[in-house]
Amino acid sequence: MSRSEDVDGSGVARRAGLALESSGSGSLPVAVLPRAPRTAFPVSKAELDEIRQRCRNLVLRSAGLSGVAAVVPVPAADIGVDISLFLNLLPAINAKFGLAAEQVAELDPRTKELIFVSVTSVGSQAVAKIVTAELVLNLLKRIGVRVTLKSVAKWVPFIGQAAAATISFGAMRLVGNRHVEDCYNVALRVLEERERVVEVQRSSFGALQG
């Protein structure tokens, strides 16, 4: 396949050291990042803080790969890689916080309710959800100006490619870190509510004992 035919970003992804698998739609490959193991819901703020930092590092790595793809002068290749990265990055972040859709499904009804209320409160489209290509495209539309500038800038020799890489890196980091904070805030609210309930139960038990 020639470089001009590699419009879905698969060649770029391979050169960036990513494994590829089908996205299920038949139209886009998925660049596979290391997946987070299934974990229980976090039990302390200290654990949440540690998870947030690990996820920020994961976002930084993805942003770097996005920046590398933006330098390659192939139409739409960088957008294809961005979508592939998001299709793996967002679920990985969800899973690290115990907020992947399959993890939430295994929680007790009260915790599920707290999560869904918190997700609505932060206004997230991806927390505790199954992340699809359509969802990713909606997120990219929110930064449409950045994406358009990246696509145009990369055709300007030398300086344009550097600008495209900078825009791509910044856009990926912006969306990724925003998702990290959304997950963090949802998990923190659930954790605080759990602690409040436990404290009420302790107080009630103490009153009965007295």
Tell me, rounded to whole angstroms, the distance of Cα 33 from its chain centroid. 11
- Which residue type does 31 have? A
Task: Using the structure block, give the residue that is written with the tokens 């391979």.
Answer: 14
Provide the 10 A C-beta neighbour count for residue 207. Answer: 8
Q: List the chain domain ranges.
A: 3-209
Q: Can you list the alpha helix ranges (DSSP code H) found in 39-143? A: 45-71, 77-96, 101-105, 109-122, 133-142
Tell me, rounded to whole angstroms, the distance of Cα 141 from its chain centroid. 15
Q: Is 210 helix (H, G, I), strand (E, B) or coil?
A: coil
pTM over 0.85: no
Residue 159's pLDDT is what?
A: 52
Q: Is 98 helix (H, G, I), strand (E, B) or coil?
A: coil
- Decide if 82 contacts 59 (C-beta within 8 A): no
Backbone angles phi, psi at 130, to 5 degrees: -80, 120
pLDDT tens per residue across span 103-148: 999 998 989 999 999 999 999 989 999 999 889 888 877 766 455 5
pLDDT tens per residue across span 149-190: 555 555 555 555 666 677 778 888 888 999 999 999 999 999
